[in-house]
Structure 1
Amino acid sequence: MAGYDDRDGKIWMDGELVDWRDANVHIMTHAMHYASSVFEGERCYNGKIFKSVQHSERLRRSGELLDMPLPYSVAEIEAAKDATLKANGLTNAYVRAIAWRGAGEDMGIAATRNPVRMAVAVWEWGNYYGDAKMKGAKLDIAKWKRPSPETIPHDAKASGLYMICTMSKHAAEAKGCSDAMMFDYRGYVAEATGANIFFVKDGVVHTPLADGILNGITRQTVIGMLRAKGVEVVERRIEAHELEGMQQCWLTGTAAEITPVGQIGDYNFEVGQMVRDLSGEYEALVRA
């Protein structure tokens, strides 16, 4: 597979479709130096992006939280995604919409005089965790913690929030793991590096409160699916020692979809019927 900078196809940038290899920015782009960037990860199934409008709304909201209002409306973002998929001839694809502070008159912490730019790229992408989606992922426990909401807008999907995620995932992969589970700044279970996390104990589903993590669109979807089936879902603060009593575990996210977890550190979980059924139902939902 070619690198992401060397592919055929088209990328939508600032209102135009450009050749993939020409979709470049200047080295003095503000986002390159100060992480002034927000993005969305989405999946298109059979020609339709799952919950596309919600993703476009969140992209705009993330920009506002970073004091970086986007110059495109939700309708314009939707049109850009549709045009990019069509230009690349894809009906099943991963969709990456990203907005950032570009190069301009400012090159320092402040960047109000620099333009906010936007791009959309699409590509084919299979299971994020490979065969772990069937047999259960193995997770490390990260040494880095998710930051306090008093230090950064945690409910923005902002690039800067992922720096410690990259470091944690690298450390996990070096140990032969697929990913890492992170605690929050208080020591409660938070999430994986790019996915929300769920546990099952005696038929009840437990998931961390979204009070210091991104409340994922897939997370919200899965909670709704479970409650519609009559499954009790408890959103609460989960302490580390409680992992020992949990029987099942899975991750949710646009890239991860629903991926069962077989191990976190020294704790083991079964890939049980609940997560198997849920995964099948989610697959049917997104392709409906």
Structure 2
Amino acid sequence: MVDKAKFIWLDGKFIPWDQAQVHILTHTLHYGLGVFEGVRAYQCANGRTAIFRLPEHTRRLFDSAHILQMEIPFSEDDINQACIEALRQNDQKEAYLRPLIFIGDGAMGLHPQNNPIRVAVITWVWGAYLGDEGLLSGIRLKTSSFTRHHVNVMMTSAKGVGNYVNSILAKREVTKAGYDEALLLDTAGYVAEASGENIFMVKNGIIKTPPSTSILPGITRDCVIVIAKDLGIPIQEARFSRDDLYIADEAFLSGTAAEITPVRELDDRRIGTGKPGPITKKIQETYFDAVHGKKPRYDSWLTYV
């Protein structure tokens, strides 16, 4: 259950949480065409609150909307300022932020015609997405029977609302079987990503992650790539199979919600020692230092409120 904040920014105005309602004929509710972002704000070591990589998230929001032919009636700066002001209005030192672009009510049928493009920014307090214990000790993955989208089936570079039906089906499937998260393969059978996170494996001191051709190009994924290079750890974007992952020395997931979550097991096979490995822990430690403003090298990733 999400704890209510005081206000939600909707179409340019802050309104009380319980009044942020839409009509039952809202087009996106029926047909799934919309885009969104997930952003986190952290309280930094200096006591101030900073939104992590806000401009990059907003840029991807606009890119996603462009791919899906949705004209956002606000500028990127408007959205950035709405995110900052939402935290102030809600007196939140740490929060998850959800910018959402959706098609309002009007015409029905697949073509939304001139229905309004509506915009919201919602903030709520959200802890570790895959659990505090998962961050500390690692999680159990299971390969889903559902396949990740092909690039000509869904627009995989867009963070589209409807794309996540695939993720929901996979997540439900594996959690019902007792696992923490789903691993999805691409249409060629190679590892793609988890239901809501990108994936990395470590073998012989080299980090590998699937190429961004058929997955959402994660912003946290980009952080991992930058951090690894800064730490002098070799990193490659390359295809690998799930049996490659079975015999990896380490594995971990990345995402705004999941942050850096180690993987201790896949398909009932222990990954490495079954505990977070040294490279995973170093990446995780550096990432958390960065989001909390403890690494001046990454201060450009922080937008202070």
Cα displacement (A) at 1:268 = 1.4
Cα displacement (A) at 1:266 = 2.8
Q: Any idea what the Cα deviations from partners look like across 1:229-253, whole Å, max 9, x if unmatched?
A: 1111111111232123211000000
Give the equivalent residue in structure 2 for 1:250.
Answer: 252
Q: Any idea what the Cα deviations from partners look like across 1:141-200, whole Å, max 9, x if unmatched?
A: 111111111122100001111101111111111121111100011111000000000000
Give the equivalent residue in structure 2 for 1:87.
Answer: 89
Of structures 1 and 2, the one scoring higher in RCO (CA 8 A, sep 6+) is 2
Is 1:228 aligned with 2:225?
no
Cα displacement (A) at 1:45 = 1.0
Give the equivalent residue in structure 2 for 1:66.
Answer: 68
The separation in 1 between residues aligned to 2:281 and 2:238, in whole angstroms, is 24
Q: Which moved more, 1:163-172 or 1:214-223?
A: 163-172
Could you say what secondary structure the match of 1:143 adopts?
A: strand
The question of whether the paired residues in 2 share the 8 Å contact of 1:29 and 1:103 is answered with: yes
The question of whether the paired residues in 2 share the 8 Å contact of 1:8 and 1:21 is answered with: no
The separation in 2 between residues aligned to 1:114 and 1:91, in whole angstroms, is 36
Could you say what secondary structure the match of 2:287 adopts?
A: helix
The separation in 2 between residues aligned to 1:8 and 1:277, in whole angstroms, is 34
Give the equivalent residue in structure 1 for 2:303.
Answer: none
Give the equivalent residue in structure 2 for 1:286.
Answer: 291
**Mind listing any 5+ residue stretches in structure 1 that lack a counterpart?**
none
Matches within 5 A, 1:73-222: 73-104=75-106, 106-130=107-131, 131-222=133-224
Is 1:28 aligned with 2:31?
no
The question of whether the paired residues in 1 share the 8 Å contact of 2:184 and 2:194 is answered with: yes
Is 1:38 aligned with 2:40?
no
Matches within 5 A, 1:251-270: 251-269=253-271, 270=273
Could you say what secondary structure the match of 1:152 adopts?
A: coil
Letter in 2 for 1:228: D
State TM-score, norm by structure 1: 0.96
The separation in 2 between residues aligned to 1:287 and 1:134, in whole angstroms, is 18
Cα displacement (A) at 1:8 = 4.6
Cα displacement (A) at 1:91 = 1.7
State the superposition RMSD in angstroms. 1.1
Give the equivalent residue in structure 1 for 2:4.
Answer: 7
Residue identity (%): 36
Cα displacement (A) at 1:267 = 2.5
Structure 1 outlier segments of 4+, above 2 Å: none
The separation in 2 between residues aligned to 1:157 and 1:36, in whole angstroms, is 11
Letter in 2 for 1:39: F
* Cα distance change of structure 1 residues 109 and 199 upon mapping to structure 2, 3 Å threshold: same
The separation in 1 between residues aligned to 2:255 and 2:246, in whole angstroms, is 24
Cα displacement (A) at 1:281 = 0.7
Give the equivalent residue in structure 1 for 2:302.
Answer: none
* Cα distance change of structure 1 residues 187 and 16 upon mapping to structure 2, 3 Å threshold: same
Cα displacement (A) at 1:223 = 0.5
**Mind listing any 5+ residue stretches in structure 2 that lack a counterpart?**
44-48, 294-305
The question of whether the paired residues in 1 share the 8 Å contact of 2:28 and 2:103 is answered with: yes
